Amino acid sequence: MVDVVLSATGLYAPEPTISNEELVTAFNRYVEQFNSQYAEQILNGKKEALHPSSAEFIVKASGIKNRHVIDKEGILNASVMHPLVAERDNEAMSIQCEMAYHATKQALQRAKKTANDIDAIYVACSNVQRAYPAVAIELQHALGCSGYAFDMNVACSSATFGLQTAVAAIQAGQADCVLVVNPEICSAHLNFCDRESHFIFGDACTAMLVEKADNCQSDAAFKIIDCKLQTHFSNNIRNNFGFLNRTAPTTKDADDKLFKQHGRKVFKEVIALDSALVNEQLTELNIQPQQLKRLWLHQANLNMNRLIAERILQREPEQNEWPLILDEYANTSSAGSVIAFHKYHDDFVAGEYGLLNSFGAGYSIGSVVLQKV
């Protein structure tokens, strides 16, 4: 079997940031406008009054404090409440391609590679901005690569599923070096008028270079020991936006065309599914939980991550064993666990194990055991 390594990662985040305080100020202004506009209907019981939020509520519910976004002005405008991004000409680089390009350049530099070394590209993320041509093929063109490229979507687990797909391609002899990029523009599918979820997401892009171990020149490579994937159908996290929406005009702008979730059900069910899968994986590999130096978990929720870490490690974990990036980036869907890895892996020495773990809509779960080379 060909040994495969994760040789380097890259990270790009848009410059604009929004704090909880800024977000809550805009949201509460929207609440005031809504309740004033529909005061009579609310009085007559035909509409429900909206309730204000607070920065303290957001931190307690999620651990999130800030987020990077592609556009700040539209989100904080109580009359808009979503990012405003001008459509680009077809000959210009698309925004997701641009994000992926910057993250890739950083990963290439870290891996001591050039774009000519890349044989395949997977753009793996929760949403792509068009049906075709694939953003991955556009990125391939921008980088000047040969080989093949395609887009894939497994929601919050897109990065780990992309990683497994890259490993399989290399072991099958289809490629020697695969680029997996995760350009997540989550602010565009978020309902900023919903008190329970308007704070969840931010925007970022990660890049991973996956290659044959024999070809690796990186000083910070990790051998990919095992990838374990699982899906389980659930409606508890859903987004019904799609190309058929225009065929049903009466519902094309309904709330379910944005992110929706039943948070408490997701919390309970996903923790159980994810921790069970990881424990099964470790048993199959004959790796003890105490051998894991670090868990790079999907950055969805502080409380959720704490409980998953406890179940995997079978004890109360130290904070440096399950690093959080929620305070700066919020939930960036599939990019979250990769951001955690990108920022917190430099202290590993050869032979030490870590776990890259994702969970989310689908449900989808991806667990990747890594060992420092």
How does pLDDT run across 218-253, given as a tens digit for each residue? 999 999 999 999 999 999 999 999 999 999 999 999
Residue range 35-50, pLDDT digits in tens: 999 999 999 999 999 9
Q: Which residues contact 343 (CB under 8 A, 6 or more apart)?
A: 11, 323, 325
Whether the Cβ atoms of residue 169 and residue 120 lie closer than 8 Å to each other: yes
Q: pLDDT-based confidence at 34, cuts 50/70/90?
A: very high
Reply yes or no on whether 156 is catalytic. Answer: yes
Amino acid at 32: E
Closest CA to 269 of 212, 308, 321: 308
Region 81-99 average pLDDT:
97
Question: How many other β-carbons are positioned within 10 Å of the β-carbon of residue 281?
Answer: 21
- What is the reported pLDDT for 1? 85
* Ramachandran region, residue 223 (left: φ > 0; alpha: ψ -120 to 50; beta: rest): beta
Q: CA–CA separation, 370 vs 171, rounded Å?
A: 17
Give all domains of the chain, ordered by start, each with its CATH number: 222-372 (3.40.47.10)
Q: Taken in order 186, 187, 188, 190, is the CA torsion positive or negative?
A: positive
> Average of pLDDT values for 297-320?
96
CB atoms closer than 10 angstroms to residue 253: 9
Backbone CA torsion sign across 23, 26, 27, 28: positive
Q: How many CB atoms lie within 10 A of CB 243?
A: 7
- 3-state SS, the chain, equals CCCEEEEEEEEECCCCEEEHHHHHHHHHHHHHHHHHHCHHHHHCCCCCCCCCCCHHHHHHHHCCCEEECCCCCCCCCCCCCCCCCCCCCCCCCCHHHHHHHHHHHHHHHHHCCCHHHCCEEEEECCCCCCCCCCHHHHHHHHHCCCCEEEEECCHHHHHHHHHHHHHHHHHCCCCCEEEEEEEEEHHHHCCCCCCCCCCCECEEEEEEEEEEHHHCCCCCCEEEEEEEEEECCCCCEECCCCCCHHHCHHHCCCHHHCCEECHHHHHHHHHHHHHHHHHHHHHHHCCCHHHEEEEEECCCCHHHHHHHHHHHHCCCCCHHHCCCCHHHHCECCCHHHHHHHHHCCCCCCCCCEEEEEEEECCCEEEEEEEEEC
Residue 58: band (very low, low, confident or very high) from pLDDT cuts 50, 70, 90:
very high
Residues 6 or more apart from 54 whose CB is under 8 A from it? 24
Token couple for 187: 């602010």
Furthest-apart CA atoms within the chain: distance in Å = 72
Give the Cα separation of 120 and 162 in Å (integer).
11
Positive or negative torsion for Cα 289, 292, 296, 299: positive
For 322-355, the pLDDT digits (tens) are 999 999 999 999 999 999 999 999 999 999 999 9
How high is the mean pLDDT of the chain?
97
| % pLDDT > 90, the chain | 99
Report whether 338 contacts 179 (CB < 8 A): no
The strand pair at 120-124 and 148-152 is best described as parallel
Tell whether the model's pLDDT for residue 55 goes beyond 90: yes
Which entry of 97, 125, 145, 156 is annotated as an active-site residue? 156
Contact 13, 67 (CB under 8 A): no
